[in-house]
A and B are shown apart, each in its own frame.
Chain A
Amino acid sequence: KQEVTQIPAALSVPEGENLVLNCSFTDSAIYNLQWFRQDPGKGLTSLLLIQSSQREQTSGRLNASLDKSSGRSTLYIAASQPGDSATYLCAVFYEDSGTYKYIFGTGTRLKVLA
């Protein structure tokens, strides 16, 4: 059974720091992994989508890497800003006995202090 874990559950850092958020999954047979951010009272915003054949994806100050064999993905945030404060979720997409499943982690709550 696929399980997705995100560590740490919460993180508070001063503005300007470079951050690494971690996501681990137990079954490496995934099709893709996606990182989202969720702001309070709002839906999810997709940040980066990494296909299983890819090693990393970059968008602006964000870089996500994927190591399928070890069941890990990291989201790197460069030069953090207060506007980056949100909950960050990772999700893996895979097939289980003919059914497609999309499993989310419980998220990392990030607070960037001005």
Chain B
Amino acid sequence: ETGVTQTPRHLVMGMTNKKSLKCEQHLGHNAMYWYKQSAKKPLELMFVYNFKEQTENNSVPSRFSPECPNSSHLFLHLHTLQPEDSALYLCASSQGQVWVGGDRGLETQYFGPGTRLLVL
């Protein structure tokens, strides 16, 4: 167990549905992330939150709406998705986005098990 949990683990939804993915970290971290892992494609960073503030949005369509009410919880609200949005959605957390020895970089991230999403 990495200390990062995700629910649900599996989700099937129609294109007109609205659903939410939940991520919770028990590590006392300040930064949280959403990733998308599609079949045969590299993992893609979607959103970054640091101290509850969204710091990065990597050109993600508006049908994906993140929410970070506090440093321990992260949601991904889904609406009017497309079949190509079917993927494994991974959540991760890290202590923070900090300067380390003059280099700016993300600290070691801890990942949840993911939510396997199928859009019909």
Contact = CB atoms under 8 A, between A and B. Distances in A.
Nearest to A4: B42
A51 interface: yes
Contacts, number: 70
Nearest to A50: B105
Contacts of B45: 101-103
B109 interface: yes
Contacts of B101: 51, 53
On chain A, which size bracket covers the interface?
A: 20 to 34
A55 B3 CA distance: 30
Given A4-B42, A53-B102, A102-B45, A46 B108 contact: yes
On chain B, which size bracket covers the interface?
A: 20 to 34
A83 interface: no
Contact of B110 (A4, A46, A52, A101): A46
A45 interface: yes
B96 to A, nearest CB: 13
Interface string A69-92: 000000000000000000001010
A32 B102 CA distance: 12
A47 B92 CA distance: 14
Contacts of A36: 111
Secondary structure dominating the interface of A: strand
B107 to A, nearest CB: 7
Given A42-B113, A45-B111, A46-B110, A31 B56 contact: no
Interface in A7-52: 31-32, 34, 36, 41-46, 49, 51-52
A44 B102 contact: no
B108 A34 contact: yes
Given A43-B114, A45-B111, A51 B105 contact: yes
Interface of A: 4, 31-32, 34, 36, 41-46, 49, 51-53, 89, 91, 93, 95, 99-107
